[in-house]
Amino acid sequence: MALRFLADHCISNLIIQTLRETHHEVVPLRDFLPVESPDAVVISKAQELGAIVLSLNSDFADIVTYPPKKYKGIVALQVRNHPEILAQLLARLTGYLELHPTMEHYEGKLLVVEADRIRIRE
């Protein structure tokens, strides 16, 4: 079963393509909303689409503003101005997605994906 992601405007084509190659559905934000849309509108659109938010924006990792239990799932990639770790992040993320292939697994969770680990907040 493929997972469905709404890729925030900051997600590169490389990330989108990598996830598509692993048989997941990734819809870019720009297909639905202006790229300058506020985060609240972005996450609301993800809910409407039944998608997991995928972002480099650390704002989505703020559990006070975006409590994970209210959403279909949030994946926050932590590149932190180090694009050289992107391959590691993608390998870690795709490995995790392979082990947990259902949308239900991500509901109510925030995954903070770092080069050496994935932290899960609920």
- Residues 5 and 75: their CA atoms lie apart, in Å, by 9
Instruction: Give the model's pLDDT for residue 81.
Output: 81
Residue/partner pairs of 57-63 with CB below 8 Å, 24 or more apart: 57/8, 57/10, 60/8, 60/110, 61/110, 61/112, 63/110, 63/121
The pLDDT of residue 1: 64
Domain holding 93, by residue range, is 4-121
Q: What is the mean pLDDT of each run of 10 residues along the chain (122 residues)?
A: 92 96 96 94 97 94 96 95 90 97 98 95 95
Amino acid at 48: E
Domains in the chain, number: 1
Statement: the pTM of the whole predicted model exceeds 0.85: yes
pLDDT of residue 80: 81
